[in-house]
């Protein structure tokens, strides 16, 4: 077992920065209050900051991205509605069927090219006619940006603009964006995040992934939407009290310099992908758009053994069917990337021998 550990499983394993710890230590009683009755000044400041950065009227601190997505779905629909979800999306795959179980919603998957659907071919045939009493109404379409299961791919503002026009033509259908890693998209495209958010009705984004906070996500939208979301958060048990102790990390995470730091993760991902591509081994390495790399292995590869052998060399990864998912993040250095490029062939050559 290697003494060195490079954890590439996810950007959820990040730890707070020294600046975050320093700001936390500066909190006192005057910085905290009961957030359920909107008296926590640190939470209020974080929500105001998040709304301003994303160009929305209001924001709401929630405990997780999963809670943020569910709160958003509940606040944009009525029980019995049908919602369109990309076939490999986080909401469909990893959120315990909450849209159906809690929201009484009918999820209907649509297929895409790395998260981007053909509006006329993939989406239009799925829209239910409003004049048919036998069918639910299609009231919401969800997108994921960046898209986790497609390898951190970006849905650009041009696509979101076209989707917005499409939604308006279809009974003013609403758009929710699971923007867990939206700042990765904005940094990669060198665009303000508002270029993305202007085209959607609501969005959730994670503080606890690339932005390196230990807990928390944010939901943004119109004031009326957030008023509904706040009540739905309470219903789901998400009403927190002196939540400023969580929110204070987010205030550091939303500073411009900390958002721009995400570019380091993208550079490291490209270096790692390039190094793996140069190995003369039967693997296919996707070119990363942001901080997620998929490494496809031959169909008969003993993936569990591969993951275990990599961990013994000090590299932690996730197995996605016959692919490895590698995620760069805060705490992963250029030296760590060099170490991985050095260790990978030692394991892969043995696996493929």
167-196 average pLDDT score: 98
pLDDT band at 349 (very low <50, low <70, confident <90, very high): confident
pLDDT of residue 327 exceeding 70, the answer is: yes
pLDDT of residue 15 exceeding 80, the answer is: yes
Express as a percent the part of the chain with pLDDT over 70.
Answer: 99
| DSSP string computed for 86-114 | ETT-HHHHHSTTHHHHTT--EEEEE--BT
Residue pair 229/67 in contact by the 8 Å Cβ criterion: no
Write down the domain spans for the chain: 6-14+261-351, 32-259
Token pair belonging to 153: 């791919």
How much is the pLDDT for 277? 95
141-152 average pLDDT score: 98
Per-residue pLDDT tens over the stretch 333-343? 999 999 999 99
How much is the pLDDT for 301? 93
- Write phi, then psi, for 319 (nearest 5 degrees): -95, 120
Which residue, chain included where needed, has tokens 């297929």?
111
pLDDT band at 87 (very low <50, low <70, confident <90, very high): very high
What is the rounded CA–CA span in Å between residue 87 and residue 46? 33
* 32-259, CATH topology level: 3.40.640
Q: Is 269 helix (H, G, I), strand (E, B) or coil?
A: helix
How much is the pLDDT for 280? 84
How much is the pLDDT for 321? 86
pLDDT of residue 164 exceeding 80, the answer is: yes
Token pair belonging to 299: 């169909």
pLDDT of residue 292 exceeding 70, the answer is: yes
pLDDT band at 288 (very low <50, low <70, confident <90, very high): very high
pLDDT of residue 2 exceeding 80, the answer is: no
Per-residue pLDDT tens over the stretch 200-243? 999 999 999 999 999 999 999 999 999 999 999 999 999 999 99
pLDDT of residue 313 exceeding 70, the answer is: yes
Express as a percent the part of the chain with pLDDT over 90.
Answer: 95
CATH architecture, domain 6-14+261-351? Alpha-Beta Complex (3.90)
pLDDT of residue 1 exceeding 80, the answer is: no
83-108 average pLDDT score: 97
- pTM score > 0.95 for this model? yes
Per-residue pLDDT tens over the stretch 246-271? 999 999 999 999 999 999 999 999 99
pLDDT of residue 48 exceeding 70, the answer is: yes
What is the rounded CA–CA span in Å between residue 262 and residue 155? 17
59-82 average pLDDT score: 98
Q: Taking all residues of the chain, what is their mean pLDDT, rounded to a whole number?
A: 96
Which residue, chain included where needed, has tokens 């991985």?
340
pLDDT of residue 3 exceeding 90, the answer is: no
What is the rounded CA–CA span in Å between residue 206 and residue 210? 8
**Number of C-beta neighbours around residue 164 at 10 A:** 17
pLDDT of residue 306 exceeding 90, the answer is: yes
Q: How many contiguous H segments (helices) and E segments (strands) does the chain have?
A: 14, 13
Q: Is 351 helix (H, G, I), strand (E, B) or coil?
A: helix
Q: Judge if 6-14+261-351 and 32-259 fold alike in CATH terms.
A: no
């Amino acid at each position: 077992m290697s003494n060195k550990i490079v954890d590439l499983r996810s950007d959820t394993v990040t730890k707070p920065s020294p600046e975050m710890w320093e700001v936390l230590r500066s909190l006192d009683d005057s910085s905290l209050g009961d957030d359920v009755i909107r008296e926590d000044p640190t939470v209020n400041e974080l929500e105001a900051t998040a709304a301003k950065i994303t160009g929305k009227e209001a924001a709401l601190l929630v405990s997780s991205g999963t809670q943020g997505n569910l709160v958003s779905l509940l606040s944009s629909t009525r029980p019995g509605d049908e919602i369109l979800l990309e076939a490999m999306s986080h909401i469909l795959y990893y959120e315990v069927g909450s849209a159906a179980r809690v929201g009484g919603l009918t999820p209907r998957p649509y297929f895409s090219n790395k998260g981007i659907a053909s509006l006329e071919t993939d989406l239009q045939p799925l829209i239910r006619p409003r004049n048919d009493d036998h069918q639910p109404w299609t009231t919401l379409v969800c997108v994921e940006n960046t898209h986790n299961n497609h390898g951190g791919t970006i849905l650009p503002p041009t696509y979101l603009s076209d989707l917005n026009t499409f939604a308006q033509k279809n009974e003013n259908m609403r758009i929710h964006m699971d923007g867990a890693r939206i700042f990765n998209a904005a940094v990669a495209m060198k665009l303000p995040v508002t270029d993305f958010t202007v085209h959607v009705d609501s969005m959730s984004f994670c503080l606890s992934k690339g932005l390196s906070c230990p807990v928390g996500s944010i939901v943004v939208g119109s004031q009326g939407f957030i008023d509904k979301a706040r009540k739905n958060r309470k219903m789901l048990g998400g009403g927190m009290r002196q939540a400023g102790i969580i929110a204070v990390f987010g205030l550091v995470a939303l500073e411009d310099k900390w958002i721009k730091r995400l570019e380091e993760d993208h550079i490291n991902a490209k270096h790692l992908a390039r190094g793996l591509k140069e190995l003369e081994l039967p693997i296919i390495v996707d070119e990363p758009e942001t901080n997620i790399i998929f490494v496809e292995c031959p169909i008969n590869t003993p993936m569990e053994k591969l993951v275990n052998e990599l961990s013994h060399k000090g590299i932690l990864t996730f197995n996605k069917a016959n692919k490895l998912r590698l995620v760069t993040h805060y705490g992963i250095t250029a030296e760590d990337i060099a170490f991985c490029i050095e260790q990978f062939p030692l394991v892969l050559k043995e696996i493929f021998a």
